[in-house]
């Protein structure tokens, strides 16, 4: 369990190193940003890596609050700091795979890995993945083009979803310095611009034959996305808290109908609703995260988590926080009058940033469909 002290360290770091740098982060800064370096220097990077690998060992449940603090300061920074959890979760699933321990120990000290899964044609359907991994001699040769991958440029290790020769799918570990990897472009994203997301080509990248993780690659990714989706959802918590505090700051100096805005009933109702929404988002994220933590605490975590696949609560966390965060930001964007529609006020950035929660790692249609097919259609899995 995270000591309150660790969270306090994160909060201090965020306040001192991240906050009030909105323009910097909003400007698509070169990756990795100096602030990511500072996070590692402070011993706070990749905080979820287990203590047995030299990490801080913060539970996923408590990581919700860590992300909330980082996102409160800057959602783009937060979005650059956590995606390594996808790869590290897959390494934890297969601790005996070659190099798993070495990589995890490396990540404990900072550093990045990235996942390359989505493709332009396939859209949300990973089963249409065209990138291939073919055995050539004692090498595995990966070939294809991936559409959206966060941190792919600064990562030292890439996890590439590829079609096996037998038509199945595998997750292949490709060191970043492998020959044939080309960053096609950095996406000019609408929000969370303090992070870097890339289109990447893999042209006949040859890696060691044992670089494919055991199991079905799509399933492995699905398992790892539980953690990732929960932390993405947690970004909405931080943004919601920030909007609430900006509103209270604004209202403190504002009069309406001859009384302080803070005494206006409509304003109070909006803020009361925002506060409740924040509470529900946090409880949902923490509950979902506790399920992941429980899986890793089980006697045979790999079997338990692999069998479970995508967790209902993790899917619901991302969908709910995406919807609720957007609703909250929509209300928030009207709280500051005309000023809130200008770049002189930070709320406009928060509106853009929070949109990402609904979009990335499965839009709402995808999530609804997945929940339906996994948890509603088979009557036995309803609860």
Spatial distance between the Cα atoms of 253 and 258, rounded to a whole number of angstroms? 12
92 belongs to the binding site for a copy of itself (CB under 8 A): no
Q: Looking only at residues 204 through 243 of this chain, which bind a copy of itself when binding is defined by CB under 8 A?
A: 241
Kindly tell me which of 296 and 341 has the beta carbon lying closer to a copy of itself.
341
271 belongs to the binding site for a copy of itself (CB under 8 A): yes
Options 36-44, 138-146, 205-213, 253-261: segment touching a copy of itself (CB under 8 A): 253-261
11 belongs to the binding site for a copy of itself (CB under 8 A): no
User: Shortest Cβ distance from residue 55 to a copy of itself (Å)?
Assistant: 26
User: Shortest Cβ distance from residue 338 to a copy of itself (Å)?
Assistant: 5
Kindly tell me which of 212 and 355 has the beta carbon lying closer to a copy of itself.
355
359 belongs to the binding site for a copy of itself (CB under 8 A): yes
Cβ-Cβ contacts under 8 Å for 131 (sequence gap 6 or more): 116, 119, 142, 143, 144, 145, 146, 160, 161, 162, 163, 202
337 belongs to the binding site for a copy of itself (CB under 8 A): yes
Q: Please select the residue that binds a copy of itself; options are 207, 316, 328, 350, rule is CB under 8 A.
A: 316
Spatial distance between the Cα atoms of 152 and 197, rounded to a whole number of angstroms? 7
Q: Which of 225, 382, 379 is nearest to 311 (CA)?
A: 225
**Could you tell me the two tokens for 300?**
């045979």
Burial 143-156 (b: 16+ CB within 10 A, else e): bbbbbbbbbbbbbe
Q: Looking only at residues 173 through 192 of this chain, which bind a copy of itself when binding is defined by CB under 8 A?
A: 187-191
**What DSSP designation does 188 have?**
-
Q: Looking only at residues 338 through 357 of this chain, which bind a copy of itself when binding is defined by CB under 8 A?
A: 338, 340-344, 348, 351, 355-356
User: Shortest Cβ distance from residue 37 to a copy of itself (Å)?
Assistant: 26
Spatial distance between the Cα atoms of 282 and 230, rounded to a whole number of angstroms? 10
Q: What is the separation of C-alpha 93 from the centre of its chain, rounded to a whole number of angstroms?
A: 18
User: Shortest Cβ distance from residue 27 to a copy of itself (Å)?
Assistant: 13
Burial 103-123 (b: 16+ CB within 10 A, else e): bbebbbebbbbbbbbbbeebe
User: Shortest Cβ distance from residue 308 to a copy of itself (Å)?
Assistant: 14
Number of residues that bind a copy of itself (CB under 8 A): 80
């Amino acid at each position: 369990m995270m000591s309150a002290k660790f969270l306090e360290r994160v909060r201090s770091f965020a306040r001192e190193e991240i906050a009030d740098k909105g323009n910097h982060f909003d400007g698509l800064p070169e990756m990795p940003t100096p602030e990511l370096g500072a996070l590692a220097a402070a011993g706070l990077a990749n905080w979820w890596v287990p203590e047995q690998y030299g990490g801080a060992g913060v539970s996923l449940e408590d990581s919700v609050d860590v992300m909330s603090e980082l996102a409160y300061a800057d959602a783009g920074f937060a979005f650059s700091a956590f995606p390594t959890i996808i790869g590290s979760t897959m390494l934890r699933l297969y601790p005996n795979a070659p190099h798993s321990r070495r990589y995890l120990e490396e990540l404990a000290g900072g550093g990045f890995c990235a996942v390359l899964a989505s493709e332009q044609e396939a859209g949300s359907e990973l089963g249409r993945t065209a990138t291939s991994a073919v055995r050539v001699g004692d090498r595995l040769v990966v070939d294809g083009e991936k559409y959206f991958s966060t941190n792919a440029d600064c990562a030292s290790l890439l996890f590439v979803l590829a079609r096996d020769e037998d038509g199945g799918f595998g997750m292949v570990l490709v060191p970043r310095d492998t020959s044939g990897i080309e960053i096609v472009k950095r996406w000019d994203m609408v929000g969370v611009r303090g992070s870097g997301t890339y289109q990447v080509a893999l042209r006949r990248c040859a890696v060691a034959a044992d670089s494919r993780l055991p199991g079905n690659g799509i399933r492995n990714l699905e398992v790892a996305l539980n953690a990732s989706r929960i932390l993405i959802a947690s970004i909405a918590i931080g943004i919601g808290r920030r909007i609430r505090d900006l509103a209270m700051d604004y209202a403190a100096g504002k009069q309406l109908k001859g009384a302080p805005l803070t005494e206006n009933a409509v304003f109070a109702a909006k803020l009361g609703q925002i506060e409740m929404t924040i509470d529900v988002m946090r409880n949902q994220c923490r509950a979902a995260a506790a399920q992941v933590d429980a899986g890793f605490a089980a006697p045979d975590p790999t079997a338990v988590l692999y069998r479970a696949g995508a967790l209902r609560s993790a899917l619901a966390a991302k969908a709910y926080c995406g919807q609720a965060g957007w609703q909250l930001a929509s209300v928030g964007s009207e709280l500051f009058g005309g000023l809130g529609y200008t770049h002189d006020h930070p709320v406009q950035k928060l509106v853009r940033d929070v949109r990402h929660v609904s979009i990335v790692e499965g839009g709402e249609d995808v999530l609804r469909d997945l929940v339906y097919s996994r948890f509603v259609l088979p009557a036995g899995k309803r609860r």
